[in-house]
Structures are given as structure tokens and as C-alpha cells.
Chain A
Amino acid sequence: MREQMEFVQNFPCFSIMLCMFAGIISSALKGKAAKMVNMAVLCINILMSAAVLLFAAYAGEFYVYVMGKFPAPWGNELRVGVLEAGMALFFCVIMLLSLMGGRHKLAQEVEAGKHGLYYILTDLMLSSLLALIYTNDLFTAYVFVEINTISACGLIMIRQNGRTIEAAVRYMIMSLLGSGLFLIGLCMLYDMTGHLLMSNIRQEVADIYAASSAGGSFHVPLLVTIALISVGLAIKSALFPFHAWLPDAYGYSTVSSAAILSSLVSKGYIFLLFKIIYRVIGFDAFRSSKIIDVLFVFGLMGMVFGSLSAIKENDVRRMIAFSSIAQIGYIYMGIGLGTQVGMVASVFHVLSHAATKSLLFIAAIGLTDVSGGSRKLIELTGSGYRNKIAGATFLVGALSMVGVPMFSGFISKLLFAQAAVQNDVKMLPTLIVLGISTVLNAIYFMKTAIRIYTPVEDTGYPTVTWRQNKTYAAALVCFMALNVVLGVFSQPIVDLIGLGLDMFA
């Protein structure tokens, strides 16, 4: 049964193991050495994921990597296709850039003895994200969801003040509610199907689904299971009514943590949901359940209310955090459309939002630094002149979020609109809310962009050039380049996503 394996095919397993061992080794290292290990691991992971991506794109089909001795129905396995490899590559790049961009702030934000700890947490976070991306086993996914939650909580509270601890507690509580629902859902799924591997469950679910449309008895349990799993993951990724923990958690943690949390952690859960929709439940069964409409409505509400809260906000970090809620709403709206095109749009928006939101957090810190550390919008007046590169980057991020052509946000809005047209019932609400949300986005992002470029008389704040902090400037330039690449060369990426989703099922 086992064919000759290419060496490249081992890389997904290697990358997960590498991150884990890096975390373990880092616990015995000093801050500086832990940083080097972390950088090395990230770079190696980028190379390995790129190799896997090339391999999968070239082979044109997914492959299964058996973990350990036992084959399919019993053992544990990884499953790798274009989308998984691409997502892993993208997550590693974003994480590297976020850490680079926030490095100079870390010394102020985190107590001196705890820098090593920070890098342990990021290593663990990366390993759990990669495992969530690659695993083909539901219970393994659950365990790594919890590891992800714990490391995310650590990343929030490593900056010790009352706000962050309270935010971490609230984050933990919501996450635990979500993972509780996810756990009971997957136990019920195991109970109905007798399998834990996603592909095997899929066959059984297809049988149940066929029987239930003929009047079989497992229709209600299947529906309940789908509801529990989707709501559990929606809570964890901060879909609209479950978002209360988010602004504090993103607004007061260290800047790298905020960038990583907003762009990667919530996306890991969303990616898991994609995987469950396609590989466990089956797209048809998911579409015919009512759950998809619930996700759709919550997505739409999130798009509007997230933006409204962002408009009212006076603190730039919290404003960006509230904007995350709106963007998560977009992603769930794409899922809710129930078409392949909608899913492609959602996956693209995962990439686009991850690239843009981390950029905004990193750029905002450069602007607040030249405004006396204050995060109030009024203090930021003219800061775009005091730190030119951060100002330019913030402008790129804002334009991308609003949906100006050339940037990634435009492409995802275009894809969403195209997807909406294919669904007769949901077309009108989608297009209307998309329009409203774009206007609202424009209000608060353009307001901020204009404010940072309003010339002021001498404020006494220092002016910073890119030469003073080259790592930060390099990270910002890379972010801008990434954003423009996503916006300009979108067609090959969209094709790859489509190919990857076909391999997914």
C-alpha cells in the first residue's frame, strides 16, 4: 500500500516537530538565544512549506502522511494539499514579519527576564497552528486547539498589567466555552460514525445524510453536531455576538502579540472550520443544514456592528481591533453564501485580512511611538510626517481595508460580490451590507489616515527616520509588498485556492 515517498513529503511532520522541540529547547535558553532559535525555526519552516507547496502544486493532488505504524481507520495521519501548504507558508511569513516589526517594543513591554518565555510561546503557537493546518484527525485537532488557546493566552498576559490579565481571563473563558462545544460536538460525531479520522467520518456522514433525507433517524443528531462544531469554532474566532473579549485582548497586549493574535490565531480556527466543512461534514450536507444561514446572518451583523464600534472608538489600537470583528464577519458571510466561489472568497479574505491587520497593528505602533506613546487619535495628528514609513504603511493598510484597487482588500471584496451574485436569495442582503460596510470602513480608516497626515505646528514629539530602526522598516516594507502582491497578482493565488479546495474534500 505504501508507495515510495519523496523526502519532501516528510516536511509537514518535520515542521510541526521542529517548532515543538524549539519551544522545549528554548526553555533552557536565555532571551537572546531563544530569539535566534525562533528566527531560525521560522525561516526553516518558510523554506520547508514552500517546498511542500511546490511539490503539491506540481503533483496536482493531496497526499496522506501516516503518523506511526497503524494505517487509516486506526492510526493518526496528516493530509497535505496545495491549500494546507500554502496556508502554512503564509502563516510562517506573517509570524516572522510580526515578530520583526514588534521586536523593538518587546524590551519595553515585557519584563526583562521573560523574553525567552515569549519566544517559547510563539514556538508553541506556531506548532499548534501548523498541526491544525495539516492534521487529518479530529481529536488531534481538538488537542492542538487547546494548545493554541493556552499559548495565545500566554501571549496576551505576558505584558503584565491589570488590563491584560483581565483580557486574558475573558479570552480564556470564551475560548473554553468554544472548545467545550467543539469537544462535545466531535464526541457526538465519533459516537455516530465510529471514526476520528476526517476522511473516514466523511463517508459515514454521507451515508447518514443520504439515509436522513429518506427519513432516517440520525438527521437531528447530525444537525446538532454541525451546529455545536460550527458555533464552537465561531466563538473561538470571535464571530460577532461572541466578540466581547477581543478589543481588550488585541488592544492592550504587546504589539507582536496583537498582530499574531488577530492575523493568525483566529484564522487557524477558521481554517479548521473550512476543513471540517469540506472533509468531515461534506459541503452538500453543510449547505443543506440551517446552520449556514445562522453563520451568514451573524457574519452580516458583524460586518456592520464591528465597523460601528470602530467608528466610536478613540483609541487607535482598539479601533483596529474592532475592525477585526468586521473582517471576521466578511469571512463567515463568505462561508454562509454556500457556494464554492464564496468559499474561495473567504479563503482569500483570510489571507488578505491576515496580511493587512498585522500590518496595521505594526504600523500603528510606529505612529504612537512618535506621539508620546499616546494611542488617542487626537494625539496622532501629523504623526505620518514624524515617522514617514509607518505613516505610509498605515495608509496602505487603510486603503486595503477600505477596498481600493491594487491592494488585497479590493480583491476580496470583488470576490465576495461575485460570489454573492451566484446566490439568488442571499444576493441582495450581501451586496447591501457589503456596500454599507465599505462606507463604514472608509469612515474610520480614512478619518485616521487624514488625521495622521494633517500638518501641525511643532508638537515637541521626536521625528524618526527608517535608519534608526532598520528591522522595523524592513518588516513594514515586506508587509506593504505582501499586500500589493496579494492585490495585483491575485489571479494565480485565487486559482491555487480553488485547486486547493478541490483537493480538500
Chain B
Amino acid sequence: MGNNLFTNYGEAVAMVLFVIGFGNLLLQSNLIKKIIGLNIMDTAVYLFLAEKGYIRGRVAPIVVNGVQSVEAYINPVPSGLVLTGIVVSVSVSALMLSLTIRLYQRYHTLDLDEISLRLKKEGL
């Protein structure tokens, strides 16, 4: 187990980052910090995928100089997944940021708990 952890340190780092991001998204009360947590979490997943797709000593599967052997290239699927995931997380972050701006304009604070408190007082 300890050995595996050392050889796969990239994945281990990715998991640690994932947990950090997840914790921030869940526990921070400041909205901007939450969004930062979200981005750390998503990026950790991409790091994990990139680590999984990369094979030492090989290059991206673009045919140059007529080398067509499978042995020369890395697995391209995880890279594709990372690209798709980045698109998704960019749009989600944009939506979250716009919501944050809306809330800030209305309540002049970024603290989600305080906003909830004021909403209760307003008692809509």
C-alpha cells in the first residue's frame, strides 16, 4: 500500500486536492471561497485523469514523421475527458459568479449564512 502510494503520488496529490476543494465548497460561508473550492475540486479531477492517461516516455497522439505505432503514444481519451470537463466547470463557475454578484448587489455581503439570516428577518 505505501509503495503504491509513492509510485502513484500524482493520483494521491489529486485526491488530497479533491478533498480540500470539496471541503471548501461545503464548509466555507464566503461565496467566493466556495467558488475557489469548486475550482480546486474540478481541477483535482483533471489532474487525476491526466495522471491516468499519461504514459512515461510517450507523446500526444499526433502523427509526425510517419510514426504510427501504438507504442509511441499516450491514451488520448482522458485528455478528451479533461477538455470536456473544463468546458463544464467554466460554465458552472460563470453561473455561480453571476449569482454571487446578484446576491452581493442585493445584500452587500458575500457571507451566505448572513444572507440567510437577513432573509429570515425579511420574512417574505
Contact with A along B41-77 (1 / 0, CB 8 A): 1101100110010000000000000000000000001
Please determine whether B99 and A176 come into contact, CB atoms closer than 8 angstroms.
no
Docked CA distance A173–B32 (Å): 12
Please determine whether B91 and A150 come into contact, CB atoms closer than 8 angstroms.
yes
A165 touching B84 in the complex, CB below 8 Å, given contacts A187-B49, A196-B77, A252-B124: no
Residues of chain A within 8 A (CB-CB) of B96 are 169, 172, 176
Q: Per a CB cutoff under 8 Å, which of B48, B95, B119 touches A163?
A: B119
Q: Is B92 an interface residue (CB 8 A)?
A: yes
Residues of chain B within 8 A (CB-CB) of A183 are 42, 45, 85
Residues of chain A within 8 A (CB-CB) of B107 are 162
Please determine whether B84 and A173 come into contact, CB atoms closer than 8 angstroms.
no
Please determine whether B92 and A162 come into contact, CB atoms closer than 8 angstroms.
no
Please determine whether B95 and A172 come into contact, CB atoms closer than 8 angstroms.
yes
Please determine whether A169 and B99 come into contact, CB atoms closer than 8 angstroms.
yes
Please determine whether A176 and B45 come into contact, CB atoms closer than 8 angstroms.
no
Q: Quick one: which of A127-177 are within 8 Å of B by CB? A: 139, 142-143, 146, 149-150, 153, 157, 161-163, 165-166, 168-170, 172-173, 176-177
Contact with B along A170-205 (1 / 0, CB 8 A): 101100110011011001001100001000000000
Docked CA distance A184–B122 (Å): 40
Main secondary structure of the interface of A (DSSP, over half): helix
Please determine whether A169 and B45 come into contact, CB atoms closer than 8 angstroms.
no
Chain A's interface size range is 20 to 34
Q: Per a CB cutoff under 8 Å, which of B25, B49, B112, B124 touches A176?
A: B25
Residues of chain B within 8 A (CB-CB) of A161 are 124
Q: Is B106 an interface residue (CB 8 A)?
A: yes
Residues of chain A within 8 A (CB-CB) of B21 are 180
Residues of chain A within 8 A (CB-CB) of B34 are 173
Measured CB to CB, the nearest residue on chain B to A74 is B77
Measured CB to CB, the nearest residue on chain B to A174 is B26
Q: Looking at A150, A161, A170, A187, which has the most chain B CB atoms within 10 Å of its CB?
A: A187
A-B contact count (CB 8 A): 87
Please determine whether A143 and B88 come into contact, CB atoms closer than 8 angstroms.
yes
Residues of chain A within 8 A (CB-CB) of B18 are 180, 184
A143 touching B84 in the complex, CB below 8 Å, given contacts A173-B25, A187-B45: yes
Docked CA distance A142–B42 (Å): 13
Main secondary structure of the interface of B (DSSP, over half): helix
Measured CB to CB, the nearest residue on chain B to A140 is B84
Docked CA distance A180–B31 (Å): 17
Docked CA distance A172–B34 (Å): 11
Residues of chain A within 8 A (CB-CB) of B119 are 162-163, 166
Q: Is B20 an interface residue (CB 8 A)?
A: no
Please determine whether B77 and A187 come into contact, CB atoms closer than 8 angstroms.
no
Please determine whether B88 and A180 come into contact, CB atoms closer than 8 angstroms.
no
Residues of chain B within 8 A (CB-CB) of A169 are 31, 96, 99-100, 103, 112
Residues of chain B within 8 A (CB-CB) of A142 are 88
Docked CA distance A184–B41 (Å): 9
Docked CA distance A177–B19 (Å): 11
Please determine whether B45 and A165 come into contact, CB atoms closer than 8 angstroms.
no
Measured CB to CB, the nearest residue on chain A to B95 is A150
Q: Quick one: which of B78-123 are within 8 Å of A by CB? A: 78, 81, 84-85, 88, 91-92, 95-96, 99-100, 102-103, 106-107, 112, 115-116, 118-119, 122
Measured CB to CB, the nearest residue on chain A to B80 is A139
Please determine whether A180 and B25 come into contact, CB atoms closer than 8 angstroms.
yes
Residues of chain A within 8 A (CB-CB) of B122 are 162
Contact with A along B21-43 (1 / 0, CB 8 A): 11001100001001000100110
Contact with B along A324-335 (1 / 0, CB 8 A): 000000000000
Report the minimal beta-carbon distance from B49 to chain A, rounded to whole angstroms. Answer: 6
Measured CB to CB, the nearest residue on chain B to A183 is B45
Residues of chain B within 8 A (CB-CB) of A190 are 52, 77-78, 81
Please determine whether A166 and B115 come into contact, CB atoms closer than 8 angstroms.
yes
Docked CA distance A181–B19 (Å): 10
A165 touching B41 in the complex, CB below 8 Å, given contacts A173-B25, A177-B22: no
A166 touching B116 in the complex, CB below 8 Å, given contacts A150-B91, A150-B95, A172-B99: yes
Docked CA distance A172–B93 (Å): 10
Q: Per a CB cutoff under 8 Å, which of A166, A177, A180 touches B103?
A: A166
Docked CA distance A177–B27 (Å): 11
Please determine whether A184 and B48 come into contact, CB atoms closer than 8 angstroms.
yes
Please determine whether B99 and A191 come into contact, CB atoms closer than 8 angstroms.
no
Residues of chain A within 8 A (CB-CB) of B22 are 177, 180-181
Please determine whether B106 and A157 come into contact, CB atoms closer than 8 angstroms.
no
Measured CB to CB, the nearest residue on chain B to A171 is B99
Jot down 10 A-B pairs with beta carbons below 8 A, ordered by A. A157-B102, A162-B107, A165-B102, A166-B112, A169-B99, A173-B25, A184-B45, A187-B52, A190-B81, A196-B77
